Amino acid sequence: MQIIRDYAYVDQADRGASVAIGNFDGVHIGHRSVIDIARRAGEAAGAPLGVLTFEPHPREYFAPDAPPFRLMNPEARAHRLEKLGVEKLYQLNFNANLSALTPEDFAANVIRDGLGLEHVVVGADFCFGKGRAGTAADLQRFGAEMGFGVSIAQLLEGDKGQVSSTAIRQALSDGRPRDAAAMLGHWHRIEGEVMGGEQRGRELGYPTTNMSIAGLHPPKFGVYAVLVDVLDGPHKGSYHGAASLGVRPMFNGEVPNIETFIFDFSGDLYGTELSVALIDYLRPEETFDSLEAFIAQMDADCAKARDILSAL
């Protein structure tokens, strides 16, 4: 998959794709339905499949001090899109110049002239251009005038209502990772590099991998049964485990992170890229009267997690 970041400097080979446009936070089943329409349009026109998105997320750009809301970082989004067969990821730099384009200028400068797109697909609620003034219907009109096709995808309804990143965030905040997964079409994953920790887990007989959740919407703090994919290095592969997500109140922690104990594993993972999938919420974060009580609870957590994961 090619990643293109500047619409003003695009190789000829990277032009002419059929793309789905949006932020695609989480790459949920609604996003996948939009991408599938772009795929079919591309197949009919002999055009490669692409996705047009923005980095940073416009919401982050306009409100940098707002609480974290993203379901996945850009790297995790790219991994997921590549798995869906996306060939061209137009991950455009969202900056003052791009945000100042009127809807018509965006259509002309970015879609037609910059990227030379064959076809674009957007959701029915799509807004674009300065002040979010352009609508999906406007884009369809511009496409007819400027020579690119436009399809409008209707919003997808799930078993519990409209599928959206907002609904997925709420499910995660409530400690309902399986409900989130039903809307995502895959397990919710936290991806990142393993950082150095304080080695407390190793001293307690539970060595953990530590990963930051900075910039991400925080799921409900507590202990989870998890699936772990080691994405690179000599231990690359898939494992079962249990993870504690939160601030570690037993040890007066302050910065939220995720600490994962991988079952039946021995090896050094520092600097390795991990993908941790939340399967079931086991219990909230707690403090204990003694380390012995804490270890006993971890034993129980891991036993429960093993039972849950063996049934998948």
Distances (CA, A) of 32 to 37, 122, 152: 9, 12, 14
**Cβ burial, residue 203 (10 Å; 0-12/13-18/19+):** exposed
Report yes or no: 286 and 250 within 8 Å, Cβ to Cβ: yes
Identify whether 259 is a catalytic site residue.
yes
> Which residues make Cβ contacts (< 8 Å) with residue 166, sequence separation at least 6?
none
Token reading at 290 = 């003694």
Q: How many residues does the chain have?
A: 312
E strands along 154-291, which residues? 157-158, 161-162, 188-193, 209-212, 222-230, 237-246, 257-262, 273-283
Token reading at 140 = 């369809």
Beta-bridge mates of residue 188: 278
Q: Reduced to 3 states, what is the DSSP secondary structure of residue 302?
A: helix
Selecting among 55, 259, 285, 292, the annotated active-site residue is 259
In whole angstroms, what is the distance from residue 251 CA to residue 232 CA? Answer: 31
Distances (CA, A) of 206 to 256, 260, 295, 297: 19, 9, 9, 12
> Which residues belong to the active site?
259
